[in-house]
Structure 1
Amino acid sequence: MDRALVISDAPKAMKFFKDFLSANGYDKIKLASTAEEGRQAMEEFSPDICVINAPIGNASAEELSEELASDISCQVILFVKDDYFEDIAGHVQKAGVICLVKPISKSMFFSALDFAEAADSRMKKADAEIKRLERKLSEVRIVDHAKSILINQKNMTEAEAHRYIEKTAMDRRVPRGQVAEEIIDYYTD
């Protein structure tokens, strides 16, 4: 993680967050002083982490944090005043937002960054596994479609069609999905 977005309308807090993030390995830091600037930066900059210092003008930092947390590639840390912490934390944490109380403790902020990095790592692993499973499911669908074509066009049984695709793939040293796609292309053109 090396890209950070800081959303704060307080210049002193913005400088603190920027300096702290920079000192902790974030070398690309974008600053936004309004919720709208934050949304725009989120789209254009694609940060790994977003730090929101509530309140942000007239905008709801709570709603903004939930909105930005819906992008699973970005971890969101929301800082709120002690008076509102319990109400807001219980709500935003359900959306995956890390909520911390102000005044800001460097050790607490450091722990939150560690937690965000761990969560980011887990999310990336889960996303990679989902993509792997989606590819596998797609291949199964293509192979099943090709088997159906062989059953209808070549009067094969399902076992014969399956064996034909498997054997052809092994003989040619190509994936089963490639053989299946070739069968589909040949019989559907």
Structure 2
Amino acid sequence: MGAGGILIVCSRPDVIKELRTLMLQQGYSAAEYSLSANEARRKLDMFEPELILINSPLQDELGIELVLDIADKTDAGIILLAKHEHLGEMQYKLEKVGALILPKPINKTILLQTAKFAANSRKSLRGLKLQNDDLEKRINDRKVIEKAKWLLVEKMNMSEPQAHRYIQKRAMDTRVSQVKVAEEILASY
């Protein structure tokens, strides 16, 4: 599988050992663990796993708060293992953040399939987010360049094509991006 690391958050050392062995057999390169939600939060400051497996309840909380805290700070897939009586509440609270919830007792085959799905889903989302961020940056750069161009039209009595060419030429001559040139123009007026 060539998978990255995994963080197991569970208050029972016997269950951690079982899950750790299972995941390492599946090709996860590292299997860190935490006995509490707070310990997991600290570990995530130093370790970026591919998958986070949370066995609810934890020593210090049910696990919902942990998922809500970490979901936007990590690209890892998140799976919460929960008792049947907590499933409804958890699904309602966590469906927005993309965490997957599995009922206990755990079926190993379903857990392993869900783990692959969770990690791949988050990778796809990360790719889309990077594309979106890139597009947003390009749009913002375009806006800055357009603003500077119209400032040159207004203040220097250039035509639009002249202003456009001026920004392009200055960028080439000074070996900086058109956006940097545009920002300098905006700063000087």
Determine if the TM-score, normalized by the shorter chain, exceeds 0.5: yes
Q: SS of the counterpart of 1:44?
A: coil
The answer (yes or no) to whether the contact 1:55–1:80 under 8 Å persists in 2 is yes
* 1:36 equivalent in structure 2: 38
Unaligned 5+ segments in structure 2 are: none
* 1:179 equivalent in structure 2: 178
Unaligned 5+ segments in structure 1 are: none
| CA distance in 2 between partners of 1:59 and 1:6 (Å) | 15
Q: How many residue pairs get matched?
A: 186
| CA distance in 2 between partners of 1:104 and 1:69 (Å) | 23
Q: Does 1:48 align with 2:47?
A: no
* 2:162 equivalent in structure 1: 160
Q: TM-score, normalised by structure 2?
A: 0.84
User: What is the identity, as a one-letter code, of the residue corresponding to 1:130?
Assistant: N
User: What do residues 133-179 of structure 1 show as CA deviations (whole Å, max 9, x unaligned)?
Assistant: 1220232123123203321342113343235445x389x4999x813
User: What is the identity, as a one-letter code, of the residue corresponding to 2:180?
Assistant: E
* 1:146 equivalent in structure 2: 148
Which segment drifts farther, 43-52 or 96-105? 43-52
| CA distance in 1 between partners of 2:160 and 2:24 (Å) | 60
The answer (yes or no) to whether the contact 2:48–2:74 under 8 Å persists in 1 is no
1:70-149 → structure 2 map (5 Å cutoff) = 70-149=72-151
Runs of 4 or more consecutive aligned structure 1 residues displaced over 6 Å after TM superposition: none
User: What is the identity, as a one-letter code, of the residue corresponding to 2:188?
Assistant: T
User: What do residues 86-134 of structure 1 show as CA deviations (whole Å, max 9, x unaligned)?
Assistant: 3322322222110000111111111111211221221121122122112
Q: TM-score, normalised by structure 1?
A: 0.84
- The structure with the largest helix share of the pair is 1
